[in-house]
Amino acid sequence: MTLVFVYGTLKRDGENHAWIEPQQFIAEARTAPLYRMFDLGGYPGMTRAAEGLSIQGEVWSVDEVGLARLDVLEDTEGGEYERVKVQLEDDFARQQVEGYLYLRSVEGRRDVGACW
């Protein structure tokens, strides 16, 4: 099982929640203030940023089949997102948690702050 941080449409009230719903919800969480989130047209993309924010999201325990499904949704093969270790705060600060970082340009995209 892998801990995965989600911050957008995969969250419990999000339109893509069905992709992660069979997995186990652990808790709400926040990243360390190292990231920014941008509106990509109906879904967000999180990037690393020198002047980052603490992005709000959820941590889920995801099995290998679930990870493979999420990688398809996030188009890791096509280079849209990359699943990497993300740094969280509080209870998760010392745990290995992965999340999806947006790899393409965010030039001209609206910064949406800390919560999608």
Please identify every residue annotated as catalytic.
Answer: 74
84 close to 35: Cβ distance less than 8 angstroms: no
Rg over CA atoms, the chain: 13
Name the token pair of 67: 């990870």
Coil, strand, or helix at residue 100? strand
Residue 66 phi/psi, 5-degree rounding, is -65, -40
Q: How far apart, in whole angstroms, are the C-alpha atoms of residue 7 and residue 84?
A: 14
* Residue 116: CB atoms within 10 Å: 21
